[in-house]
Structure 1
Amino acid sequence: MCFTAPSWEHVLVLVMGAVLAPGKRTVSACLRMTGRAEAQNFSSCHQLLNRARWNTHAMARHLLSMVVNRLVPEGPVVIGMDDTIERRWGRRITARGIYRDPVRSSHGHFVKASGLRWLSFMVLTPVPWAGAVKALPVFTLLAPSQRSNLHRGRRHKLLTDWARQGALQLCRWLPDRDIVFVGDSSFAVHELAHAITGRATLISRLRLDANLFAPPPERNARSVGRPAQKGPPLPKLKTLLSDPATPWHRMTVSSWYGRKQGKTLEIASDTALWYRPGTPPKPIRWVLVRDPEGKRAPQAFFSTDTAREPADIIALFVRRWQVEVTFAETRAHLGVETQRQWSDKAIARTTPALLGLYSLISLWACDLLSTTSTPYAAAWYRKTNLTFTDATGSVRLALWAGEVFQHPPPDREPQEIPPDRLVRMAEALCFAA
């Protein structure tokens, strides 16, 4: 058990309130949506986040088990990892820092943002009701800023250090499963690739000027000296782009960033030793991709599993885009960045809980929706694909229906809707915007 009996009652209140609340996901909003606006013990719900003793890692392990058992019963477990900035101000929020705002910045325009940096691990898997791959958060870590660590006298950890620790933790939680970690170029580092060797596979971007080498020559009876770690250097990938002797193969990727028609690409692939001074060479399979239409710049990817097919590497990496979609949907529909805690413990718990709620709603919607469902259908509105908005609406409808439209036994007369429930429904509608 992760909670005591009294704490578990408060957990149910906050979870139900967070699902039903249409605006900010503050504790007070959750209490209002569950009919506890006049409750005198409201401080107990605040204390659940900033004082109660419960383990967020244990909850993450249970959530991971639920998602994997329900949606990935067999085959590799694909986990995307990425960081996001929760924009927050306030001198009492000690873990915050100043970062580049990835949403408002561009290649030629740099925008700073004050906030908290979160590293989230999400299971990238097809969801039945969506008919597509979704990114379901299962484990989220807070990466304090360097200024915060210096102020507390702690050793500062880079984002890749947190990624290494989180990836190893997930490998321990899934000891008998084939795990594939997918990340952008921020996670294409030797330390992370070597740390998960033998436990999981890492797929990420590869620099076009990466140092690639051939395997070392085989030793014989006349070989002297220390065994060589690498062979002769191989041409840079950017050189292969302009080399007419490079063998290109044309292929069509069925799922290319949400395109239904697929995408035709030209690829070149081979194995090599990826080397950086200070770390041993790492065998990888690299995949060089160029767009025949010339609309996209050439890109390179790699996999630490050298036996994996190039088409599989590209298809798994493309799934990573759903991580960005999840971050956007949690802000739009679950109120991430609207919570107002300043306690260190409450901050470390609330945002991972809201991200985990995204996965719970997606799982609950599997019992309420299907690919043929038509929620909110009308003569002028025909939906072809279900979205997270439909999933949230279906779960809210089930909660409201369970409270308001209760079916009494046949031998009893129907009961009227209690006035307090009508008031709660009116408040939910009036303050939805």
Structure 2
Amino acid sequence: MMRYQRTETAHLAEITSLWYGSLHTRTVRVILLRDQDTVSGYDLALVTTDLITPAPALITRYTWRWSIEVTFAESRDLLGAGQARNRTRVAVERTVPFGLYCYTITVAWYTLHGHHPVDAADRRERAPWYTTKTDPAVSDMLAKLRRAIIAARFLPTRPGQPTDQEIRAVQQARAAASLDTAA
């Protein structure tokens, strides 16, 4: 069967049964997958109301969704999407899409401006347990974006920022104005 862009051999077991509870008495299929290396238990359990599609095709379809599920989980865990305490309908409808937009903007920024070929190697050096890490994770992208924002915020010669002399001149003018109004 095809999983995660690889053809693999795995053991499958499936049973059709009734699911009591949230699906009331609806007929479902339970599919258990165990990799060849696994000696006990199973590696993946799927419950589906699709009674027709062959189990290998359902497992392939599930793996196609994996990147989407990872995006939702990272948006929730790293950006707080879906965790706002909103009460109005409009606010609730905006919160999750906004979190997903932030996720998209972060990945797009990293792709266009933040990526450096040695990022994954630097991360492996800081976290030696990532021996097989070849690509940056979204958490790495967010960390780099935060560093870039902080560095830009505190650059000494950023256009539009007043110089120390300009700040002092404004402070002196305010002080002089307050003395004039006090008299």
TM-score where L is the length of structure 1: 0.24
Kindly indicate whether structure 1 or structure 2 has the higher relative contact order, using CA contacts under 8 Å at least 6 residues apart. Answer: 1
Q: Which is strand-richer, 1 or 2?
A: 1
Q: Which is helix-richer, 1 or 2?
A: 2
TM-score where L is the length of structure 2: 0.50
